[in-house]
Chain A
C-alpha cells in the first residue's frame, strides 16, 4: 500500500490535446486570469459559469473530471476548514444558536462560496500543471519574467528551481513513503494521539528525509555541472516557444469570459 500518491499533486500528465499543445505563456496568463475571475464573482450564477468553464477546459485537455478531482485531495482539509470557519463566524441572521455559537444563513452561504472559490482556484491551477511539462512551465515563467531581468531578477534561476522542485515531488513522495514504512516497521506510531504527539512522531520521518534531500541536491548539482550547466547564459531550447494565432485567440477568449462573467453577474444582481 502506498501512503502517498503521485497523481494527487497535480503532476504533469503527458497527452495530446489542444491545451497540452498551447504555448505555456498563454496557459500561465490564462490561469492567472481565470483565478482572478473566480475571485471576482459573488453569486451562484458566477460560480456555475466558472464550473462550466472548468468542465469545458478539462474535457478539452482530455484530463477528465475524476482525475481533476483527485488533485484536490491534499487540500480538501483546508477547504473543509475554510467552510466551517465561515459557517460559524459570519455574522447575520441566526438560524441556530447555542450559547456563543451560532449558524447564520449568511454564514452557510459564505462557507459554500469560499470553499467553492478555493476548489476552483486549485482546480484551475492544477489544470495548468497537469497539462504543461515542468520544463515548459519553467521556461514560460522565465520568459514572462524576463522583462524584470533588467532590474536584477534572476528569472532563469527561479525557473530552474521550479523545474527541479516539480521534478522531485514524486521522488520525494516515494522517499517519504519508504521512510514512513521503515519507521513503522520499527514500531513508530505515526497516526495516533493528539496533534502535538503526531507532530513529534513525525520527527523521525522528517530528519532522514532532510538528510536525503540534501544528498540528492548535492548529487544533482554535480550531475548538472557535468552536463555543462552554467546558468541561463548561452542556453538554447529544443522546443522554442511559438506563439501561434491560436494562443492569442485563446487568451482573448479567456479574458473576454472573465470580463463577461463578472459584468453579467453584477448586472443580474441589480
Chain B
C-alpha cells in the first residue's frame, strides 16, 4: 500500500551503555525505487546506520520501521531480513561456501524455499551479477570485483526489494569498483531500492538522494549536484573528485552554467561552446 521502504524516526544508538552516541536523532525516509547515497567520513556512524536497515542493530531511542515493521519487535526480525539484504565491505568475509553457486544459494536455503525455487533464484542472481559462467568454480579463484559481485548475487538471490551496501567498493581495485557500480546501476534500473554507503563522491552520480552523516548526526540531505556545490565538504570528511572540483570552479566563475552536469563529456562540450 505505501511506497516507504524504511522510515527512521529520531533514531539514536550507542555502542556503550553510557558515552558518545554513534547515531544521534536520525530522521530519514527511504522510498521504493530510491538510490540513497549515505556519505560520511570515518567514524561518522554510517556503517552503524546501515546495520539498522536490516535489524542487525536496533535503535536505543527513536524507531526504525522497515516496510512498516518496527525493528525493535523481535517478531519482525525475519520479515525485515527478507525485505532488506546487506552487502558488506570485505567480500572475503561474507562468502560462506567454497563454490560460487552454493554460496549464492545460502540465503534462499536459509529461507527454507523449495529446491526448484532456490535453483531458479540462484541462476537468475548469477546471470544478473555476470557470474553465470563461474557458477561452479571455487570462490577463492575469483578476483576482488568478482567476489564482491558474488556477495551481491547472494543479496539478489534473497529477492529483497531493497539492498543495503556498506562501502562495497572500498577494498576493490578500479576495475572491480567499476564492475560493482555497473551492477548497482542495473539493479536500480530493475527497480531495486539501493542504500549505498560510501565516502567516494565518484560513486554517487546515480543516487536520487544524498544524505551526509557527521559524528552520528544527519547534517545534510539533497541531490548529488547540490552536494557538489556545498562548501562544507571537507569538514564532512569528503573529497571532491577532480572532475567535479573543476566543474565547481568553472560554474562558480560563470564559465559554464550550473545546469551542466559534472560529467566529462558534457563538461568538455560546454567548455568548447563557451570558448
Residues of A whose CB lies within 8 Å of any CB of B are 6, 11-14, 133-135, 163-164, 166-167, 170-171, 215-216, 219-220, 222-230, 234-240
Contact status B98-A229, CB under 8 Å: no
* B90 at interface by CB-CB < 8 Å: yes
Counting from the closest, the 6 A-B pairs by CB-CB distance are: A223-B94, A219-B93, A238-B105, A227-B107, A170-B140, A228-B110
CB proximity of A12 to chain B, nearest CB, Å: 6
A11→B56 CA distance, assembly (Å): 33
Per-residue CB contact flags for chain B residues 226-264 toward chain A (1 = under 8 Å, else 0) read: 000000000000000000000000000000000000000
Mark interface residues in B72-93 (1 if CB within 8 Å of A CB, else 0): 0000001001100110101011
Contact B96 A167 (CB under 8 A): yes
Q: A225-B56, A228-B82 given as contacts; is B102 within 8 A of A135 (CB)?
A: yes
Q: Least Cβ distance of A126 to chain B in Å?
A: 15
Q: Are B93 and A226 in contact (CB under 8 A)?
A: no
Supply 19 further A-B pairs (C-beta < 8 A) apart from A12-B99, A226-B56, A236-B113.
A11-B138, A11-B140, A133-B97, A135-B97, A166-B98, A167-B97, A170-B140, A171-B140, A224-B96, A226-B88, A227-B107, A228-B81, A229-B106, A234-B112, A236-B109, A236-B111, A238-B109, A238-B118, A239-B115
Given A12-B138, A223-B88, A229-B106; A236-B114 close (CB under 8 Å) = yes
Closest Cβ of chain B: how far from A174's Cβ, in Å? 8
Which residues of the partner chain B approach A223 to less than 8 Å between Cβ atoms? 86, 88, 93-94, 96
B158 at the interface (CB under 8 A from A): yes
Q: Of all chain B residues, which has the CB nearest A230?
A: B110
B120 to chain A, nearest CB (A): 10
Return 20 A-B CB contacts under 8 Å, by A number: A6-B140, A11-B98, A14-B137, A14-B138, A163-B97, A167-B95, A215-B93, A216-B93, A219-B93, A223-B86, A223-B94, A226-B54, A227-B106, A227-B154, A228-B107, A235-B109, A236-B115, A238-B108, A238-B118, A238-B122
B residues 117-164 with Cβ under 8 Å of A? 118-119, 122, 136-140, 154-155, 158
State whether B112 touches A238 (Cβ < 8 A): no
For A234, the chain B residues whose CB sits under 8 A away are 110, 112
| With contact pairs A238-B115, A238-B122 given, residues A14 and B86 touching in the complex (Cβ less than 8 Å) | no
Decide if A220 touches B109 in the complex (CB within 8 Å).
no
Q: Is the CB of A226 within 8 A of B140?
A: no
Interface residue? B101 (CB, 8 A): yes
B90 near A219: Cβ-Cβ < 8 Å: yes
Residue on A with the closest CB to B113? Answer: A236
Nearest CB of B to A7, in Å:
11
Tally of contact residues, B, Cβ under 8 A: 42
CA distance A237 to B92 in the complex (A): 23
**Taking CB as reference atom, which chain B residue is nearest A228?**
B110
B163: min CB distance to chain A, Å: 11
- Which residue on B lies nearest to A166, using beta carbons? B98
B75 to chain A, nearest CB (A): 14
Inside 8 A of B138's CB, which chain A residues have their CB? 11-14
Bound form: Cα–Cα A217–B49 in Å? 21
Q: Which residues of A contact B119 (CB under 8 A)?
A: 238
Q: Is the Cβ of A14 less than 8 Å from the Cβ of B99? A: yes
Contacts of A12 in B (CB 8 A): 98-99, 138
What distance in Å separates the Cβ of B251 from its nearest Cβ neighbour in chain A? 41
With CB as the reference atom, state the residue of chain A lying closest to B114: A236
A234 CA to B82 CA, complexed, in Å: 15
Complex CA gap A239/B106 in Å reads 11
Return the chain B residue nearest A136 by Cβ. Answer: B102
Q: How far apart are B100's CB and chain A's nearest CB, in angstroms?
A: 9
For the complex, give the distance between the alpha carbons of A59 and B74 in Å.
54
- The reply to whether A14 and B136 contact each other, CB–CB distance below 8 Å, is yes
Residues of A within 8 A of B82 (CB): 228
Q: What's the nearest-Cβ distance from chain A to residue B59, in Å?
A: 17
Min distance, Cβ B271 to any Cβ of chain A, angstroms: 46
Q: CB-CB < 8 A to B115: which residues of A?
A: 236-240
Whether A163 contacts B109 by the Cβ 8 Å rule is no
Chain B residues near A228 (CB, 8 Å)? 78, 81-82, 107, 110-111, 158
Q: What is the minimal beta-carbon distance from B58 to any residue of chain A, in angstroms?
A: 13
Name A137's closest neighbour in chain B (CB-CB): B98
CA distance A234 to B114 in the complex (A): 11
Cα separation A236 to B82 with both chains bound (whole Å): 16
